[in-house]
Amino acid sequence: MNIDQQVSYLMRGTEYGDPAMHKAMEDELRERLLMAEKEGRPLQIYCGYDPRTADLHIGHTVTMRKLRQFQELGHHVVFLVGTYTSLIGDPSDKDKLRPQLTPEQVQQNAETYAEQAFRILDRNQTEVRYNAEWLSKLDLADLIKLASNFTIQQFMTRENFRKRWDNEEAVYFHELFYAIMQGYDAYALDADVQVGGTDQMFNIMTAARKIMTYFGKKPNIGIILGILPGTDGEVKMSKSLGNHIPLNTSPEDMFGKVMSIPDKAMDSYARLVTRWTVEEIDAFEDAIERGDIHPRDAKMTLAREITSAFYGDVKAEAAQENFIKVFQKGESPTNIDEVNLTEETRLIDLLTQNNFVTSGSQVRRLVDQNGIKIDGETIVDPLMIITNACLIQVGKRTFINVEFNNNKMD
């Protein structure tokens, strides 16, 4: 690709909410690429991921795919694990205080992140860093200097802070440090480009650029991407909301979860998660709009592409066949989880303790919605006792074969 083609490719899918800002970043990226070509060096690209949970989900892969595009063009990618920023937690998309994690919790979660990311990124072209490496060394004098670049008014223009302020809810001082810390990450990495979602606009486009300029460096270029909605199609994908599609799941589960998204979310998934070209995405959307393809069939095409991107064509095809068999023909699933019990157990405990659901309240909600069956019979009591071997269906996609270890029971 020539430079203009590279710029077009790398700016694809970006969202700034402001044409002037989009043009400015496009121009800066072109200038930086030309400079790198002249100097014979790769650009330094990074994106940070806070390990507040142990698992990544496909919402995280939106930025990873952009990092992979930079790798394809020969640039250096840093996968930054936010072992220090996680101690605060990013308040960017939250309208309430996030709980603080302990260093032990963060480290335990961080250990799994890079390995999951290599399902998208090129392992040989990826440098993994941890921001505790430099943030833990800052002292109070350093923080005073960094904070002097910002005003309280700048932070209070942010929607989530303003909402809490107007509702007379607390905005804690330590939450303001998050953007400053992320800005310092860009400086510490000497980043040419920082990739992030639209919820990171202030952190990237204001905090990072201000801090890098303060230290006499060329400010980083922000590549800002859209946010993938969860399986509810309404809000950002999040494990805490239970609307996520984890990377560490089975092909059948991933396929089924994509099939469960509302029709209105298909465009976002096609643009943010698939490997399709812009032309292929436009054709997909046009076919739906014209009625040339039934939404169910379109979603199946989408689910197969997304599953294939993570597991390959063979497993994606098997997942599709399994879905059709179970949900369209009513046959038994081919992929069933197994649980061995040694004693009689309440349904709600079996499901929560084996991580089939995120909470007891989710079990109660599923029961209220007639969403749990045992041996084909709809369950009305989440506290019922499981006393015999059975097949439990939770929602549309999860099947659990329960067996009893009679020796231990005796």
pLDDT, tens digit, for every residue of 145-167? 999 998 888 888 777 777 878 88
Residue 230 in any domain: the answer is no
Q: What's the confidence (pLDDT) of residue 295?
A: 87
* Beta-carbon count within 10 A of 37 CB: 12
Q: Are residues 94 and 143 in the same domain?
A: yes
Q: How many residues does the chain have?
A: 410
CA–CA dist 202, 194 (Å, integer): 12
Q: Report, in angstroms and rounded to the nearest whole number, the Rg of the chain calculated over CA atoms.
A: 24
Q: What's the confidence (pLDDT) of residue 50?
A: 82
> What is the average per-residue pLDDT within 317-345?
80
pLDDT in tens, 291-311: 899 888 999 999 999 999 999
The last residue of a domain, from among 176, 191, 225: 225
Q: Could you tell me the CATH number of the domain that includes residue 187? A: 3.40.50.620
At 178, list the tokens.
């998050």
CA–CA dist 283, 342 (Å, integer): 54
Q: Could you tell me the CATH number of the domain that includes residue 266? A: 1.10.240.10
Closest CA to 76 of 158, 190, 164: 190
Q: Are residues 285 and 146 in the same domain?
A: no
Q: Are residues 167 and 274 in the same domain?
A: no
How buried is 107 (Cβ within 10 angstroms: 0-12 exposed, 13-18 middle, 19+ buried)?
middle
pLDDT in tens, 176-187: 888 899 999 999
pLDDT in tens, 81-105: 988 888 775 555 444 445 566 677 7
pLDDT in tens, 17-33: 999 999 999 999 999 99
Q: Are residues 256 and 109 in the same domain?
A: no
Q: Could you tell me the CATH number of the domain that includes residue 345? A: 3.10.290.10
Q: Of 114-123, 166-175, 257-266, 306-315, which range is least confident?
A: 166-175
DSSP letter at 246 equals: B
At 282, list the tokens.
């436009």
What total of structural domains would you count in the chain? 3
243: confidence class by pLDDT, cuts 50, 70, 90: confident
Q: Are residues 271 and 399 in the same domain?
A: no
For 49, list phi and psi in degrees, rounded to 5: -135, 120
Residue 115 in any domain: the answer is yes
Closest CA to 45 of 113, 127, 118, 134: 127
Residue 231 in any domain: the answer is no
131: confidence class by pLDDT, cuts 50, 70, 90: very high
Residue 286 in any domain: the answer is yes
pLDDT in tens, 189-236: 999 999 999 989 999 999 999 999 999 999 999 999 999 998 888 888
Residue 313 in any domain: the answer is yes
340: confidence class by pLDDT, cuts 50, 70, 90: confident
Q: What's the confidence (pLDDT) of residue 54?
A: 67
At 96, list the tokens.
């309430």
> What is the average per-residue pLDDT within 112-117?
81
CA–CA dist 313, 283 (Å, integer): 21
Q: Which residues contact 134 (CB under 8 A, 6 or more apart)?
A: 184, 185, 188
Is the confidence at residue 77, as pLDDT, over 80? yes
Contact status, residue 100 vs residue 88, Cβ threshold 8 Å: yes
Q: Where are the extended beta strands (E) located within 6-146?
A: 44-49, 76-81, 126-130
CA 257 vs CA 269, 304, 323: distances in Å: 12, 11, 11
CA–CA dist 126, 131 (Å, integer): 16
CA–CA dist 239, 95 (Å, integer): 17
The last residue of a domain, from among 270, 298, 328: 328
Q: Are residues 278 and 381 in the same domain?
A: no
Residue 242 in any domain: the answer is no
Is the confidence at residue 407, as pLDDT, over 70? no
Q: Are residues 70 and 216 in the same domain?
A: yes
pLDDT in tens, 46-74: 999 887 776 789 999 999 999 999 999 99
Residue 237 in any domain: the answer is no
At 144, list the tokens.
């005073």
> What is the average per-residue pLDDT within 333-351?
85
| 331 vs 78, more confident | 78
Q: Are residues 36 and 180 in the same domain?
A: yes
Is the confidence at residue 368, as pLDDT, over 80? yes
Domain hosting 324: range is 251-328
Is the confidence at residue 400, as pLDDT, over 70? yes
Contact status, residue 15 vs residue 165, Cβ threshold 8 Å: no
Q: Which residues contact 155 (CB under 8 A, 6 or more apart)?
A: 161, 176, 179
| 36 vs 409, more confident | 36
Complete DSSP assignment for 72-132: HTT-EEEEEE-TTGGGT---TT-SSPPPPPPHHHHHHHHHHHHHHHTTTS-GGGEEEEETH
Q: Are residues 146 and 265 in the same domain?
A: no
Q: Are residues 97 and 38 in the same domain?
A: yes
Residue 239 in any domain: the answer is no
Q: What is the pTM of this model?
A: 0.73
Q: Are residues 203 and 65 in the same domain?
A: yes
- For the chain, percent of residues with pLDDT exceeding 70: 91
Decide the pairing of beta strands 193-197 and 44-49: parallel
Contact status, residue 45 vs residue 193, Cβ threshold 8 Å: yes
> What is the average per-residue pLDDT within 110-116?
77
Q: Are residues 99 and 196 in the same domain?
A: yes
Is the confidence at residue 278, as pLDDT, over 50? yes
The last residue of a domain, from among 294, 311, 328: 328
Q: What's the confidence (pLDDT) of residue 335?
A: 67
